Amino acid sequence: MTSPLIESIGRRPRTAFAAFLGLHFLVWTLLPTLLYANLPLDLIEAVTYGREWQLGYDKLPPLPWWLVEIMYRLFGADAAYYGLAQLSVTVALAAVWLTALPLVGAHRALVAILIVDGLHYFGFTAVKFNHDVVQLPLWGVAGFALHAGLRHGRLWHWVLLGLAVGLALWAKYFVAMLALPIALFMLLDPDARKALARPGPWIAAAVALLVMAPHLVWLVDNDFLPFAYADMRAAPARGLTDHALRPLVFAGGQLFFLLPALAIAAPLVWPRPQAAACAALPDAFDRRIVTLLAFGPAASVMTLAALTGRGTVAMWGYPLWLFLGLWIVLAAWTAIDQARMTRIVAVWGAVFALLAGAFVADYLVLPSIDHRVRAVLFPGDALAVALDARFRAATGRPPAYVIGSMWDGGNVAHYSPATPQPRVLIDGLPGRAPWIDLADLKAKGALVVWTESDPQILPGAFAPVAGSAEVGAPFDLPFRRGGNVVHVGWAILRPR
């Protein structure tokens, strides 16, 4: 017997897709808003870097940090950052939907979206808006524009492709794993190669380079500074075995993450479909384009790991599988009757509920059991208020600068009651924050804070800029849940 829900989906799949997007956005925005007492590290980093409005930074490109700063100026609430993360996810899924719609129809397009929603990349871990999350809408739009450009040849599709790829560089240098297979496909696929005789692909390349240009110039002027961070993240090869093992380790990790998505897809092939009337399968060129989008970037990552032997990072998988659900729907081409849709929706609902339940357990139940330190339970607001009061008592003014690690200094700056918020000299190193005027810092004074070493002794790394700071009496603050305590060392560099 078919439920009213499934009957409604069958009659109005587009409405069902809109409802799915709304549910996804609402749940994964509300959960961190309700359960996170403190911003996670990625967002503390974002609010620290973003307010400086630089063309580049020492770690990664600036786009997500700019977006976080815009959200701060518009809304001034931490919940806005979690909404921004889910806006990125829903835009990405909408781009996949628009790609799938003319190929497989509304019902199968909805199934394709439900399949990939089983990945934790789009919910559980996407709540922490960062460079991985901001890639999602750009890669999704790029895939839509590539398919539309190749199939319809309209100029605006190619312009959109160039914009998406160009902005993706501002999001993360990982865009190379998307651009490389697209370029090879355009050269090697006989049907795609025909497009090179028309202006569209060349316009896309020109637009992408134009959008990238300011950051590329910054990279050259700064000796490709962020690449040192990227180099540190990928462990060097230790021998010939790494060239074989590291791609396999990456593939194994991604397969593990894909298991819930594959479970949602299972009803497409089990029970085995009976022969039935089914719409004509999209042509071979369409299927090749979808195959490129589904597997090309992942193949690029594994090929690079095989050639270099360098380590990979599991979270690189964020944008890789956006089009996998569409590829599965094409590969398991079958009629989506009500019984099959019922099973697909049931498995998706179970996976969605399991991920949401695991999130609640991790941040509401487990802290009192495992007592593991969770950054989002850090007492950042209490720390900022306590140190602000001490600085005002000693100097008669609010702090304009904070010297500390990204985590300590960023928390104090973000949750500070001072207006404007103090700026952070990250790790006490001018090279990490070249926008800080040291003369102005010394004139206005600074708070110094540390939590990872002896709270009674000023860390040696801070001595070059804060050697004359007066160390205050240490104090402790409890985490918001879980029973952990942070031991706070602090000092005041008095204004000159």
403 and 350 in a common domain? no
245 and 191 in a common domain? yes
Last-in-domain residue among 314, 332, 365: 365
Mean of the per-residue pLDDT values of the chain: 94
Residue 266 lies in a domain: yes
pLDDT digits (tens, 9 = 90+) for 47-101: 999 999 999 999 999 999 999 999 999 999 999 999 999 999 999 999 999 999 9
For 200-209, what is the mean pLDDT?
A: 97
388 and 322 in a common domain? no
418 and 353 in a common domain? no
Residue 372 lies in a domain: no
Separation CA 273–CA 263 (nearest Å): 17
- A 10 A CB-CB count for 12 gives 13
Angle subtended at Cα 405 by Cα 403 and Cα 409, rounded to the nearest 5 degrees: 55
Last-in-domain residue among 338, 365, 392: 365
325 and 227 in a common domain? yes
Percent of the chain whose pLDDT exceeds 90 = 86
Residue 371 lies in a domain: no
Angle subtended at Cα 322 by Cα 321 and Cα 325, rounded to the nearest 5 degrees: 85
Residue 356 lies in a domain: yes
Separation CA 314–CA 320 (nearest Å): 11
321 and 430 in a common domain? no
pLDDT over 90 at 7, yes or no: no
Confidence at residue 65, expressed as pLDDT on a 0 to 100 scale: 97
Count of structural domains, the chain: 2
For 258-284, what is the mean pLDDT?
A: 83
Residue 142 lies in a domain: yes
Composition of the chain by helix, strand, coil, percent to 5: 65, 5, 30
383 and 360 in a common domain? no
pLDDT digits (tens, 9 = 90+) for 146-201: 999 999 989 999 999 999 999 999 999 999 999 999 999 999 999 999 999 999 99
Tell me the residue ranges of DSSP E strands in 164-318: none
Confidence at residue 278, expressed as pLDDT on a 0 to 100 scale: 65
324 and 398 in a common domain? no
Per DSSP, 333 falls in state -
pLDDT band, residue 1 (cuts 50/70/90)? very low
Last-in-domain residue among 365, 395, 420: 365
* Backbone torsions φ then ψ of 478, nearest 5 degrees: -80, 145
102 and 42 in a common domain? yes
Confidence at residue 23, expressed as pLDDT on a 0 to 100 scale: 97
Confidence at residue 3, expressed as pLDDT on a 0 to 100 scale: 66
pLDDT over 70 at 2, yes or no: no
pLDDT over 60 at 275, yes or no: no
Q: Distances from the Cα of 92 to the Cαs of 36, 141, 144, 347, 379, in angstroms?
A: 25, 7, 10, 22, 34
pLDDT over 70 at 268, yes or no: yes
Residue 188 lies in a domain: yes
291 and 200 in a common domain? yes
pLDDT digits (tens, 9 = 90+) for 353-400: 999 999 999 999 999 999 999 999 999 999 999 999 999 999 999 999
Residue 370 lies in a domain: no
Confidence at residue 281, expressed as pLDDT on a 0 to 100 scale: 86
For 284-303, what is the mean pLDDT?
A: 96
For 406-411, what is the mean pLDDT?
A: 97
464 and 347 in a common domain? no
219 and 279 in a common domain? yes
pLDDT over 90 at 218, yes or no: yes
pLDDT digits (tens, 9 = 90+) for 105-137: 999 999 999 999 999 999 999 999 999 999 999
pLDDT over 90 at 235, yes or no: no
Confidence at residue 229, expressed as pLDDT on a 0 to 100 scale: 83
* Residues of the domain holding 340: 4-365
